[in-house]
Amino acid sequence: MKYTIIVAATASEAAPLQYLAPFSGCAMGEWFRDNGKHALIIYDDLSKQAVAYRQMSLLLRRPPGREAYPGDVFYLHSRLLERAAKMNDKFGGGSLTALPIIETQGGDVSAYIPTNVISITDGQIFLEAELFFRGVRPAINVGLSVSRVGSAAQTKIMKKFAGSLKLYLAQYREVAAFAQFGSDLDASTRFLLSRGARLTELLKQGQYQPLATEVQVPIIYAGVNGLLDSIPVDQITKWEAEFRAHLTSSQTALLEEISSGNVTPEMEAKIKKVVEDHVSSFTS
């Protein structure tokens, strides 16, 4: 909290204050940006601001549109989010990054306000309550989460090894929904269910437990390439914890090589051997 400013407009505040609070916070963030500093602003959440703006507009007898929001509600959020920018060196080199939060009703991502904000931002992370209650945390719906920056923000080695990860998970979610209604499954369906279940376990992450890229790469490589198929699904989390400890204690040279970012067949062979050796010792 030492480097945090909170602009609070609670549910008990009047609608005009809830409407103005995001703009006040943005103005403070712009001060840091314009003075050559880097700031992150989190809007929690813009759905409430839109509701407050709708209340004000209806009281002012402005004509309502879709879902009773005024016609310029898109401009409300676009003019706010477009103030987040990276300045060039001539103007100090500061930056302001915006992270807006939107509440969906019943998981409906196609509602008016969510689609408006999605069209403005560089992507979205869709969190699903059902996944959360099933123990998948962070509860990210891979199929509905999109990055318009895409692999441009990834290192070369992560791009190479994690390229098929999202496809596997999307196929798994689709197949799993139908598999519970049928008992006779073909080989390809069983393969997708087996691989997807293990990848889902691999991607579970505890709170306040960030992972370095060089540690993520061997773990994702192991899951995507089927090197963990011999390990029961309920043992994947245990294997991952032991493997991470093994990497940081005994494979520091390999981690340094991965962090260099150079992708070579020799490096891939080393990663494969380290994973296979650890899987063999884990299952024996």
Catalytic residues: 148
Q: Give the C-alpha distances (Å, rounded to integers) separating 71 from 54, 137, 216, 270.
A: 10, 37, 45, 58
User: How many Å apart are CA 217 and CA 162, to the nearest integer?
Assistant: 8
Q: For residue 77, which of 39, 48, 40 has the smallest C-alpha distance?
A: 48
CA distance 206 to 267: 29
- Alpha helix (H) ranges present in 162-230? 165-179, 187-202, 213-224
Instruction: Return phi, psi of residue 229, to 5°.
Output: -65, -20
- Residues contacting 181, CB < 8 A, separation 6+: none
| Length of the chain in terms of residues written | 284
Residue 272 to residues 34, 37, 69, 85, 225: CA-CA distances in angstroms? 48, 42, 55, 41, 9
Residue 183, SS3?
Answer: coil
The CA distance from 66 to 45, in Å, is 20
Return d(Cα 199, Cα 176) in angstroms, integer: 14
